[in-house]
């Protein structure tokens, strides 16, 4: 069955602070959505990420490996987490993405996986 | 192409492509096969005559050609059969057909065209791409024809179509009719695309002539096809009625020199009575269902206009009432603008201007400034009218509209 990456996107002000009642509510909603995915057999994998500032980019070239501090993409937006789901087709994936957007309160990008 | 073949092509190309996409599970393969079948028809029909069921002949020939080709290129066949397995889970045919079994899948489902409409107008595609893909696959228009229709460079249209097809394929977009729960949203998207094609043909946003016959005609044809396939959807009927009632005024909309004539100044004897009668019949039929939607209400408004023997005899209070209803379900500045114009017709230009002032205007919306200019002129506020005409003229690239506005600006200037 086709797999899709559903990624969660935040603007630059995003901080991982789950203490506010609003964040706690969304954590609960996402947990419920995860259970729904598992019950439906659509779950493959999912995870939340630390902020983009925690990233390191590693490059290989001319026999050397080098590293730079910070994320690869120089954009304000950052990926905060993702799901990999299985869905029979795009419409089914989009429907689940709609639920993910409602649960997380953030925009969700849907991309088909190759293969 | 001969006229007879051209007529068959216009009528059947979309339908044949729709069926072949289902049978072959691949848009490009289906398009190539249908094009090949029409090429064969162009050779054979002038000699042997047009077959009794030209659409069936094209579909069968295209299917046979595609199967031949798949057999010749076996690696490709594997790939396409693999694609079929992925795409057919929601379709009537066997989800895992062998190549030989394709022979059994050729029955034409009238639903095929409907599937293709929903696919081309998929909300995951950008609006431009939906329009281009619909005209290409359902209208059988060449990339160049679409490009000319929209005055966009041909490579732009070609790229839009290629990208859209690739996106649908990579994302495994299903070839099916949306479920009841999804249908309202998905149908709205289809109606919006058809109406966009119609309005682009009706008032080209730029270019010399005010109307471009081909796009409007194609939009009406697509609307009629959709109405045949979904006879129980009042908004579909409403859209067809709206297009017919607008189309009825086509020959009265432009002067001999191509400049635009306002509804109020049109020679109503030049309106097409048969289109008006058909449109009226459809408006009555859909409103009777009592599920008014934006297209039905706009069609009803067009019908009230078309009903009036002269502009002065227009039933403006009914038009204001219909705009109120429309605004309740579609609270857009465009609707509010049209309502204000109707208010002005009943209560005078000052009342109309008051109504206009209450609109959260989209600054670049040309019709707003044109309507405001007209009302200011009628209220005797000439200087402000000239200013408003200048704004409006700067916001249109359509030569006929520009000529119209410039003429009125001169009158306002009193020079």
Contact B86 A2 (CB under 8 A): yes
CA distance B14 to B312: 44
B181: chain A residues, CB-CB within 8 Å? none
A89: chain B residues, CB-CB within 8 Å? 89-90, 172-174
Whether residue B174 lies within 8 A of chain A, CB to CB, comes out as: yes
Other beta carbons less than 10 A from residue B141's beta carbon? 23
CA distance B161 to B156: 9
* Residue among B250, B256, B254 at smallest CA distance from B279: B250
B90: chain A residues, CB-CB within 8 Å? 88-89
Contact B173 A91 (CB under 8 A): yes
Contact A90 B171 (CB under 8 A): yes
- For B24, B233, B379, B395, B413, the CA distances from B58, given in Å and listed in that order, are 15, 30, 62, 46, 61
Record the pTM: 0.83
CA distance B398 to B366: 11
Whether residue A2 lies within 8 A of chain B, CB to CB, comes out as: yes
Identify the pLDDT of residue B2: 75
Query: What is the distance in angstroms between the CA of the first residue and the CA of the last residue of chain B?
Result: 54
Chain B residue closest in CA terms to A115: B170
- Going by C-beta distance under 8 Å and a sequence separation of 6 or more, which residues neighbour residue A26? A103, A104, A105
Collapse the DSSP code of A43 into the 3-class scheme (helix H, G, I; strand E, B; otherwise coil) and give the result.
Answer: strand
Collapse the DSSP code of B271 into the 3-class scheme (helix H, G, I; strand E, B; otherwise coil) and give the result.
Answer: coil
Q: Where are the beta strands (DSSP E) in B201-360?
A: 206-207
Whether residue B171 lies within 8 A of chain A, CB to CB, comes out as: yes
Whether residue A46 lies within 8 A of chain B, CB to CB, comes out as: no
CA distance A102 to B301: 38
Q: What is the per-residue burial (b if ≥16 Cβ within 10 Å, else e) of B381-398?
A: beebbbbbbebbbebbeb
CA distance B306 to B310: 9
Collapse the DSSP code of B195 into the 3-class scheme (helix H, G, I; strand E, B; otherwise coil) and give the result.
Answer: helix
Q: Chain B closest CA to A48's CA: distance in Å? A: 24
B91: chain A residues, CB-CB within 8 Å? none
* Residue among B383, B303, B368 at smallest CA distance from B332: B368
The CATH number of whichever domain residue A72 belongs to comes to 3.30.70.1060
| pLDDT by 10s per residue, chain B, length 415 | 578 888 888 889 999 999 999 888 889 999 999 999 999 999 999 999 889 888 889 999 998 888 888 878 766 656 655 555 434 444 344 333 444 444 444 445 568 999 999 999 999 999 999 999 999 999 888 898 888 777 788 999 999 999 999 999 999 999 999 988 889 899 999 999 999 899 877 665 555 555 555 788 889 999 999 999 999 999 999 999 999 999 999 889 888 777 778 898 999 999 999 999 999 999 999 999 999 999 999 999 999 999 999 999 999 999 999 999 999 999 888 899 999 999 999 999 999 999 988 887 667 888 889 999 999 999 999 999 999 999 999 988 888 888 889 999 998 887 5
Interface test with chain B among A6, A91, A109, by most B beta carbons within 10 Å: A91
Collapse the DSSP code of A82 into the 3-class scheme (helix H, G, I; strand E, B; otherwise coil) and give the result.
Answer: strand
Identify the pLDDT of residue B95: 37
Pseudo-torsion of CA A55, A60, A61, A66, nearest 10°? 50
**Count of domains for chain A:** 1
Identify the pLDDT of residue B101: 47
A90: chain B residues, CB-CB within 8 Å? 122, 124, 168, 171-174
Identify the pLDDT of residue B362: 67
Domain that holds residue A92: 3-112
Q: Chain A closest CA to B35's CA: distance in Å? A: 28
Chain A residue closest in CA terms to B125: A90
CA distance B3 to B317: 48
B171: chain A residues, CB-CB within 8 Å? 4, 90, 93, 110, 112
Segments of chain A scoring below 50 in pLDDT: none
- Going by C-beta distance under 8 Å and a sequence separation of 6 or more, which residues neighbour residue B382? B376, B412, B413, B414
Q: CA Rg, chain B, in Å?
A: 24
CA distance B374 to B128: 33
Interface test with chain A among B118, B171, B175, B176, by most A beta carbons within 10 Å: B171
Please check whether residue A109 is in contact with residue A9, taking contact to mean a CB–CB distance below 8 angstroms. yes
A94: chain B residues, CB-CB within 8 Å? 124
Whether residue B170 lies within 8 A of chain A, CB to CB, comes out as: yes
Contact B182 A94 (CB under 8 A): no
Can you tell me the ipTM of this complex? 0.88
Whether residue B166 lies within 8 A of chain A, CB to CB, comes out as: no
Please check whether residue B204 is in contact with residue B402, taking contact to mean a CB–CB distance below 8 angstroms. no
Q: Which helix (H) or strand (E) holds B294?
A: helix B294-307
Contact A112 B124 (CB under 8 A): no
Size of interface A-B (CB pairs under 8 A): 30
Q: CA Rg, chain A, in Å?
A: 16
Whether residue A90 lies within 8 A of chain B, CB to CB, comes out as: yes
Q: What does the DSSP assignment read for B372-410?
A: HHHHHHHTT-HHHHHHHHHHHHHT-EEHHHHHHHHHHHH
Q: Chain B closest CA to A2's CA: distance in Å? A: 8
């Amino acid at each position: 069955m086709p797999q899709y990456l559903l990624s969660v996107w935040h603007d630059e002000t995003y901080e991982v602070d789950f203490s506010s009642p609003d964040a706690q509510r969304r954590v609960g909603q996402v947990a419920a959505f995860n259970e729904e995915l598992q019950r439906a057999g659509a779950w493959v994998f999912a995870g939340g990420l630390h902020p983009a500032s925690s990233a390191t980019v590693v490059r290989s070239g001319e026999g050397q490996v080098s590293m730079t501090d910070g994320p690869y993409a120089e954009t304000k937006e950052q990926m905060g987490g993702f799901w990999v789901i299985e869905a029979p087709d795009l419409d089914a994936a989009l429907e689940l993405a709609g639920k993910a957007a409602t649960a997380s309160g953030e925009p969700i990008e849907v991309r088909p996986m190759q293969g | 192409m001969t006229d007879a073949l051209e007529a068959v092509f216009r009528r059947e190309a979309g339908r044949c492509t729709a069926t072949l996409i289902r049978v072959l599970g691949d848009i490009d393969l289906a398009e190539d096969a249908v094009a090949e079948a029409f090429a064969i028809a162009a050779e054979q029909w002038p000699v042997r005559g047009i077959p009794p069921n030209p659409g069936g002949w094209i579909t069968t020939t295209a299917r046979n050609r595609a199967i031949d080709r798949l057999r010749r290129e076996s690696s490709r066949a594997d790939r396409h059969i693999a694609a079929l397995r992925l795409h057919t889970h929601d379709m009537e045919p066997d989800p895992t057909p062998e190549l030989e079994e394709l022979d059994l899948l050729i029955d034409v489902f009238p639903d095929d065209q409907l599937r293709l409409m929903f696919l081309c107008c998929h909300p995951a595609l950008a609006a431009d791409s939906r329009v281009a893909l619909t005209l290409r696959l359902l209208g059988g228009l060449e990339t160049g024809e679409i490009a000319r229709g929209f005055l966009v460079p041909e490579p732009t249209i070609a790229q839009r179509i290629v990208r859209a097809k690739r996106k649908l394929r990579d994302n495994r977009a299903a070839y099916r009719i949306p479920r009841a729960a999804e249908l309202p949203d998905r149908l709205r998207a289809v109606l919006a695309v058809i109406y966009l094609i119609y309005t682009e043909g009706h008032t080209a946003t730029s270019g010399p002539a005010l109307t471009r016959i081909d796009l409007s005609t194609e939009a009406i044809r697509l609307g009629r096809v959709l109405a045949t396939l979904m006879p129980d959807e009042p908004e579909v009927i409403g859209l067809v009625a709206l297009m017919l009632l607008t189309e009825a005024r086509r020959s009265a909309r432009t002067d001999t020199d191509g400049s635009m004539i306002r509804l109020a100044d049109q020679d109503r004897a030049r309106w097409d009575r048969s289109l008006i009668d058909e449109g009226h019949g459809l408006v009555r039929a859909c409103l009777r269902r009592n599920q008014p939607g934006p297209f039905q209400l706009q069609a009803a408004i067009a019908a009230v206009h078309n009903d009036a023997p002269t502009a002065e005899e227009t039933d403006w209070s009914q038009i204001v009432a219909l705009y109120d209803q429309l605004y309740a379900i579609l609270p857009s500045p465009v609707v509010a603008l049209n309502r204000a114009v109707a208010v002005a017709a009943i209560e005078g230009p000052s009342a109309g201007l008051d109504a206009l002032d209450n609109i959260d205007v989209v600054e670049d919306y040309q019709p707003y400034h044109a309507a405001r200019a007209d009302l200011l002129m009628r209220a005797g506020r000439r200087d402000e009218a000239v200013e408003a005409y200048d704004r409006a003229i700067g916001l249109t690239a359509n030569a006929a509209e520009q000529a119209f506005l410039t003429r009125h600006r001169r009158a306002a200037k009193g020079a």
